[in-house]
Structure 1
Amino acid sequence: MEYAITLPKNQKEMTIRELLEKEWLVPRKVRHFLRTRKNVRKNGEFVMFHEHCRAGDIITLVIEPTDYVYQTVALGNKNKISVLYEDEHLIVVNKPTGVKTHPNQPQEIDTLLNDLAAYLAVKNQRPYVVHRLDKETSGAILFAKNPLVLPILGRLLEQKSIYRRYQAVVAGNLDHDLTITKKIGRDRHDRRKRIVDERNGQTAITHITVHHGGKKSQVYCQLETGRTHQIRVHLKSIGHPIIGDPLYGSIKAPRLMLHASEMHIEHPFSKEKLIITATPGLW
């Protein structure tokens, strides 16, 4: 595949080597192939790795099929995919409730990743998992469309540079905003579940903003960390479990009332600020 990327206006001047290694996180092996095969061009001309690039330059990379390893994914149903945003490098889709993000067994073909693989196969592209949502959670979820952008998106996630806001409906009257910082660990008695574990758990931070109180409160949740079941465990820990939660709640509903409603991300290459909303939400 050939990728032509125009360096953004705020791009600092640097060498091609620095761009590939430090900015774009291209693996050493792939950088070696790009250099020896002369598969890097600047403004249409072959360029050496010690040469400089700057804002406005068009950097073209030719990635051979064998440069990266790809795990084969069975094709699902492309018609189930609801696209919120898409370009050459990444795609954000609206995940339905009750659908797993990715398969855990080779024979599984009914996950979101399977359906997305079928959607992208028509374009001769492949999906790469960046993060996940619980099976019961709906809303915006981000995938890479090529291995070049995948590590950059991973770094943005680690640096907490991807803003994600969730809607939730919880039991009881939650009448004030708060931040929950309780550590989360595994439940030794149920492998499916997580618990608050201040001694052995991992750091977890969830910001809660009340949208509307009442017998069932509507709240927004923003994550600083991405622990498994973090929002669900944190809300239960303060006595306000999410409505319809089969693991942590007591009030039944047709679905888990948790929805990834909004995502903000700076595009890895263009540096454009993307604000993506997943509608309809819970209210």
Structure 2
Amino acid sequence: MKFTITLPANSPTKTVKELLEEDWLVPRKVRHFIRTRKGILVNGKICHFQEQVRGNDEITLVIEDNDYPTRAIQLGNKKLITVLYEDEHLIIVNKPAGMKTHPNQPDETDTLLNHLAAYLSPDNQPHVVHRLDKETSGAILFAKNQFILPILGRMLEKKEIYRRYQAIVHGQLTKDLTINKKIGRDRHDRRKRRIDLKTGKSAITHVSIAQPLGKNTAIYCRLDTGRTHQIRVHLASLGHPLVGDPLYSKDSNSRLMLHAYELHLIQPFTKKKIAVSALPGLW
């Protein structure tokens, strides 16, 4: 596999080693493979790791199949994929409600990852960057290769990937608020999470009111953290569980009213802004 990336014009001058190690997070073993086989070119010429690169330089990186560990993904149905954005390195798709993000068993074929593997070419198998609950719909980001995967993971950890959710909760919420309550596992039900102020993990959810919907309220949620069931647990802890939540409200009259509506990020190689909306939303 060969990648050619033109550094943005305002890129600072640095060595090839610094670019691969600090900016692109290429693992040490893979850097060794690239160096020994002279698998990196700058402006079409083979270069050494101590040579400098700068803005507008064209970097070509040759990645062999065995540089990164591979795993087989059973192919699903590519017709079930709705693409919101795609380039050489990443793809954002609109996940339907009721579909798992990825398989838990090697023989599963009906998850979003399976369907995406069928949509992509064999050279661009998908890798999970973040997850959505099975019941949750909306925008979800995947890496198309293991080269960009750790970069996207770092962006997610540093809160450089913006995600905004739509939700509908039971009852009347009348003002914007921030929920800052630690979340831990429920010892009585392995499927669930609960508020655990002593031993739970930090969890922060920002809630803004969209509009009243009869006895319910439409809201937007933005996360500072990404704990399992975070929005669901936080809103339920206020006495306003999500409509349709089978775990935290015992409400089975509709699907779970939670939708990953917007996803924004800066493409790590081109530095262009990517902003998508997963339509239609909940209202």
Normalised by the length of structure 2, the TM-score is: 0.98
| CA distance in 2 between partners of 1:10 and 1:223 (Å) | 31
| CA distance in 1 between partners of 2:62 and 2:201 (Å) | 41
| CA distance in 1 between partners of 2:248 and 2:161 (Å) | 27
The secondary structure found in structure 1 opposite 2:67 is coil
Instruction: Give 1:84 shift.
Output: 0.2
1:53 is aligned to: 53
Instruction: Give 1:125 shift.
Output: 1.7
Instruction: Give 1:85 shift.
Output: 0.2
Question: What residue identity is the alignment partner of 2:154?
Answer: R
1:157 is aligned to: 156
| CA distance in 1 between partners of 2:175 and 2:215 (Å) | 14
1:167–1:261 CA contact under 8 A, matched in 2: yes
Instruction: Give 1:10 shift.
Output: 2.5
Answering whether residue 46 of structure 2 is matched by residue 22 of structure 1, we say no
1:258 is aligned to: 258
The secondary structure found in structure 1 opposite 2:138 is strand
1:206–1:231 CA contact under 8 A, matched in 2: yes
1:95 is aligned to: 95
Instruction: Give 1:71 shift.
Output: 1.5
2:243–2:254 CA contact under 8 A, matched in 1: no
Q: Spell out, residue by residue over 1:65-88, the C-alpha distance to the aligned partner (whole angstroms, 9 max, x if none).
A: 000001211000011000000000
Answering whether residue 42 of structure 2 is matched by residue 42 of structure 1, we say yes
1:204–1:227 CA contact under 8 A, matched in 2: yes
| CA distance in 1 between partners of 2:171 and 2:242 (Å) | 10
Instruction: Give 1:185 shift.
Output: 0.2
Instruction: Give 1:177 shift.
Output: 0.2
2:145 is aligned to: 146
1:171–1:251 CA contact under 8 A, matched in 2: no
The secondary structure found in structure 2 opposite 1:108 is coil
| CA distance in 1 between partners of 2:231 and 2:72 (Å) | 32
The secondary structure found in structure 2 opposite 1:66 is helix
Question: What residue identity is the alignment partner of 1:136?
Answer: E
Number of residue pairs matched by the alignment: 282
Q: Spell out, residue by residue over 1:52-76, the C-alpha distance to the aligned partner (whole angstroms, 9 max, x if none).
A: 0011001000000000001211000
2:184 is aligned to: 185
Instruction: Give 1:252 shift.
Output: 3.2
Counting aligned pairs with the same residue, the percent is 63
RMSD, aligned α-carbons = 0.9
2:180–2:204 CA contact under 8 A, matched in 1: yes
Q: Spell out, residue by residue over 1:144-167, the C-alpha distance to the aligned partner (whole angstroms, 9 max, x if none).
A: 001110000000000011000000
Q: State the 4+ residue runs in structure 1 displaced beyond 6 angstroms.
A: none
Q: Spell out, residue by residue over 1:157-199, the C-alpha distance to the aligned partner (whole angstroms, 9 max, x if none).
A: 0001100000000000001000000000000000000000001
1:243–1:250 CA contact under 8 A, matched in 2: no
2:205 is aligned to: 206
